[in-house]
Amino acid sequence: MPGPVEGVPDDGGGSGGNVLPTWIFNLKPLVGAVSTLTMIASDPETWVREIVAEWIVGGILDSVQYALGWAFFAIERTTTIVLDGLGPLATPFEIIGNGAVGAINVVYSAAEGVANAAGLAGPPAAAIAVMAVMTVLAVVAYATLKVIPGSDAVEGGLESLR
């Protein structure tokens, strides 16, 4: 334990000596400021660079945040406008999508019906039913593509598979 400090009156702690006066503990919150002042005194150029760098980086990040906020706002607004305007244009695609889902349901229902009716021979019968229904659907899809103008690329792609 350190001894008494000369010139400092006794703190009345009963130990017979003045180890540390109480006002020393009041200086503890100033430690951060003292270290900053020490850094400024020892290397002012680095201290100024850190402040300027922090200010510049903060400004850049604030600017980017501002620009991205407006970009996201514009994208969201444009998306809302396009989706609101595309309702009537999307209806034919919804019909096609519903037709595709309906075709899959037809295949599944046919396979399930054949499998239930065939008993023990259900799995092979279901496979044959699925192949028959899929063949019909493929023929219908190919005929539909042949009717659409400019669909020669699909036929050329199918020819390359041969």
For 115-139, the DSSP string reads HHHHGGGHHHHHHHHHHHHHHHHHH
Whole-number Å distance between alpha carbons of 130 and 142: 18
Q: How confident is the model at residue 1 (pLDDT cuts 50, 70, 90)?
A: very low
Provide mean pLDDT across the span 9-35.
Answer: 69
**pLDDT: which is higher, 119 or 136:** 136
161 phi and psi, to 5 degrees? -80, -15
pLDDT score for 132 = 82
Structure token digits, residue 76? 């969201």
Model confidence at 51, pLDDT cuts 50, 70, 90, reads: confident
Extract the tokens encoding 96: 């096609």
Name the pTM for this structure: 0.33
Contacts of 147 (CB under 8 A, 6+ apart): none
* DSSP code per residue over 33-80: HHHHHHHHHH-HHHHHHHHHHHHHHHHHHHHHHHHHHHHHHHHHHHHH
Please give the mean pLDDT across all residues of the chain: 75
pLDDT tens-digit map of 67-103: 888 888 888 888 888 777 777 777 777 777 787 778 7
Domain boundaries, the chain: 91-160
pLDDT at residue 56, rounded to an integer: 80
Is 8 or 64 the better-scoring residue by pLDDT?
Answer: 64
Confirm if 77 and 85 have CB atoms less than 8 A apart: no
| pLDDT over threshold 80, residue 64 | yes
